[in-house]
Amino acid sequence: MHVSHEERTVGVVPAPRGKKPSWGGFAPQLLGFELCQQVAEILQSKSTIPYIDAKTQVVLDEYRSDLRPLITEVQSSIQLETDRALWWTFAGGQINHTLKYGLQFHHDWKIISDNFKLKIEGDSVGYATLSLAIAQMSTPTFWEAPATQRFILSQLPEYRLSKFQRALPEVYSLEMVSNYLLDMPGVIKFLNLNKLE
Q: Can you tell me the distance from the alpha carbon of 194 to that of 69, in angstroms, rounded to the nearest whole number?
A: 16
Q: Is 84 helix (H, G, I), strand (E, B) or coil?
A: strand
Q: Is the pLDDT of residue 66 over 80?
A: yes
Half-sphere exposure for 111 (CA within 13 Å, toward CB): 22
Let me know if residue 168 belongs to a domain.
yes
Q: What pLDDT shows up at residue 109? A: 92
Assess whether pLDDT exceeds 90 at residue 111: yes
Q: Which residue has better confidence, 174 or 89?
A: 89
Residue 24 lies in a domain: no
Residue 124 covered by a domain? yes
Asked if the structure places residue 120 within a domain, the reply is yes
Each residue's pLDDT tens digit, 71-82: 776 556 888 888
Least confident of 40-54, 85-99, 171-185: 171-185
Give the per-residue pLDDT at 75: 57
- Core vs surface per residue 110-119: b (16+ CB within 10 A) or e: ebebbbbbbb
Identify whether 163 is part of a domain. Answer: yes
Are 74 and 80 a contacting pair, CB within 8 Å? no
Q: Is residue 77 part of a domain?
A: yes
- Structural domain that includes position 56: 29-193
Residue 40 lies in a domain: yes
Instruction: Report which secondary-structure segment, H or E, holds 18.
Output: none
| Overall domain count for the chain | 1
Q: Assess if residue 34 is contained within a domain.
A: yes
What pLDDT, on a 0 to 100 scale, did the predictor assign at position 121?
93
Q: Give the tens place of pLDDT for each residue, 154-189.
A: 888 877 777 777 788 888 888 888 888 889 999 999
